[in-house]
Amino acid sequence: MALCFDQIVPWGRSMREYELMFGLSPEDLSSGILDCGGKRVISVDPLYVVSGDDIRARFDATVETMRSQVRATPNDWTWSYHRDPDDLCSYRWAVMQRFLADYEAGLREQRYIVGELPGLPFRAGAFGLALCSHLLFLYSGLLTAEFHIQSVIELCRVARETRIFPLLSLDGKFSPHVDAVRAALASAGWESEIVRVNYELQRGGNQMLRVFKS
């Protein structure tokens, strides 16, 4: 999946949002976490090939478009964690500022690693937990069922447990790839369950897929 920088919206989330959308417990946070986009978190993204200045510029170029799109579709959103479109964009900007302040150090310390699904540069079982936020299932219209299956199997290779959020595609409908992924996981010996979480921004987008060994 080649990086198309002019199509990317660097729309980061906060630690608290991750805790809610993935139902993270203190025990979860004590294990090694792979964030694919605690105490030891490794984040993998093809975006990390570009500079912090480029990421900031891309955010600035897209934020007003995102604000306008959200305002134009009021029935698609739930305002609970965030108050309204302006609050959402202000929050995203604050998160971006914190990320950029850490970006160069994170690259040096290899907490931010250039990589992409469905092939990750880690040994089998390297992490206790792998998290995938706002990629798989969300972009069901762009990414095939086979890509989803290969990607989730790869996440399961490098982590003992995998969680994916949300299960809605960009059109707000339940992703058509969820069932195919779960069937492939079952064939490969993995258990999966759909879990309701205490976070919702896309209306109805309050579920994650949890994958684990029985």
User: Which residue ranges make up each domain of the chain?
Assistant: 15-45+115-214, 51-111
> pLDDT tier at 12 (50, 70, 90 boundaries)?
confident
| Pair of tokens at residue 64 | 């007003």
Q: Report H helices in 25-84.
A: 26-29, 52-72
The verdict on pTM exceeding 0.75 is yes
> pLDDT tier at 34 (50, 70, 90 boundaries)?
confident
Average pLDDT over residues 127-152: 96
CATH assignment of 15-45+115-214?
Answer: 3.40.50.150
Determine contact, residues 78/200, Cβ cutoff 8 Å. yes
Q: How far apart are CA 94 and CA 88, in angstroms?
A: 10
> pLDDT tier at 187 (50, 70, 90 boundaries)?
very high
> What are the backbone angles phi and psi of residue 96, rounded to the nearest 5°?
-60, -40
Average pLDDT over residues 13-28: 93
1 pLDDT exceeds 60?
no
Q: How far apart are CA 188 and CA 49, in angstroms?
A: 33
